[in-house]
Amino acid sequence: MQQSDHSDEIELLKKELAFQKSENEKLEKINAALMYRMEEGGFNHHSYRAFEHSVQLSEKVSQKTENYSPYSKN
């Protein structure tokens, strides 16, 4: 009985290892594509700046809303 449990565990570990290797390969491909885009200038800085600006505006709106809220501590 123990031998069967042991071999089942080994098979499970082999499957998990194969899955992890597959995931690692996918992530390495994604990483390589992103590196290529950065190195080739494919990264659109304008899009990033627009995103960054929207985040900053969102933070300002949250702060101002907090300041004017009747439930705020001020």
pLDDT tens profile 14-64 = 999 999 999 999 999 999 998 888 777 766 667 778 888 999 999 999 888
Going by C-beta distance under 8 Å and a sequence separation of 6 or more, which residues neighbour residue 72?
66
Residue matched to tokens 């071999």: 7
Residue matched to tokens 């082999």: 14
Q: What is the pLDDT of residue 51?
A: 85
Residue 43 is classified by DSSP as S
In this structure, is the dihedral angle defined by the CA atoms of residues 16, 22, 24 and 27, taken in order, positive or negative? negative
Identify residue 33 by its one-letter amino acid code. A
Q: Indicate the Cα dihedral angle 38, 44, 50, 56, nearest 10°.
A: 0
